[in-house]
Amino acid sequence: MMPHPGQLLLDRPIEPGDDSKVDIKRIETALTGGSVNVLHLIKLCVGCDSIRDLEDWIKEKLKARRNGAGKAGARKSGARLRERNHTTRMAPKRAAEIINGGSLYWVIRGQIMCRERILDIRPFVDREGIGRCHIVLDCKPVPVEPRPYRAFQGWRYLAPDDAPRDLDRAAPGARDMPEDLRRELRNLGLL
């Protein structure tokens, strides 16, 4: 029996508290009729040496906006306090695929280290008349399985098959390790 869009067929019902693995791809495909087109972005995280640095920077920006410096601007642009804009020069042409569940993967010190969910992509023209783009992020960096990635400029598209898994799925418990230890284990091929 073939599911139609919106109908979900599972081998067994999922009970509350059931922590067994569920094939998310299969569920997405069943819910959308097989038309899941998700695309990610990847970008260098310039000025950060660790995920902690990125988290601290995000906290600073949110605090400044809460304390009034950016609050009026946030209201004007329609931004919520738990989202942030990352401004880029070029707007992704495949925005519909990106906001359909995509994430921005951050390269920190030569390795893909974390991701933030992309909530929206908002092109705009700045005061000088130059077209720019706000990539709206959810402010919650999620550590991923570290993977080497060479330096590049701007952002790049990242196919779902090429995106590293979330660290909790790749190596349960590794999220609690210090980041330097995770990096060293990755370099030794043990993580």
Instruction: Kindly tell me the burial class for residue 25, based on how many C-beta atoms sit within 10 Å of its own C-beta (0-12, 13-18, 19 or more).
Output: exposed
Cβ-in-10-Å burial (0-12, 13-18, 19+) of 104 comes to buried
Q: Which pLDDT tens digits describe the chain residue by residue (191 residues)?
A: 444 443 344 444 445 444 444 455 555 555 545 555 899 999 999 999 999 999 999 999 888 888 775 544 444 445 556 788 999 999 999 999 999 899 999 999 999 999 999 999 999 999 999 999 999 999 899 999 888 899 888 899 999 999 999 988 767 777 777 777 777 777 787 76
pLDDT at 122: 94
Distance CA 34, CA 76 (A): 38
Give residue 94's pLDDT: 93
R_g over Cα of the chain: 19
CB–CB of 41/155 below 8 Å?
yes
Q: What are the start-end ranges of the H helices in the chain? A: 24-32, 51-66, 71-77, 95-98, 167-170, 179-187
103-108 and 111-125 beta bridge pairing: antiparallel
Four-residue CA torsion sign, 163, 11, 173, 143:
positive
pLDDT at 184: 78
Q: How many CA atoms lie within 13 A of 110 on its CB side?
A: 4
> What pLDDT score does 21 carry?
47
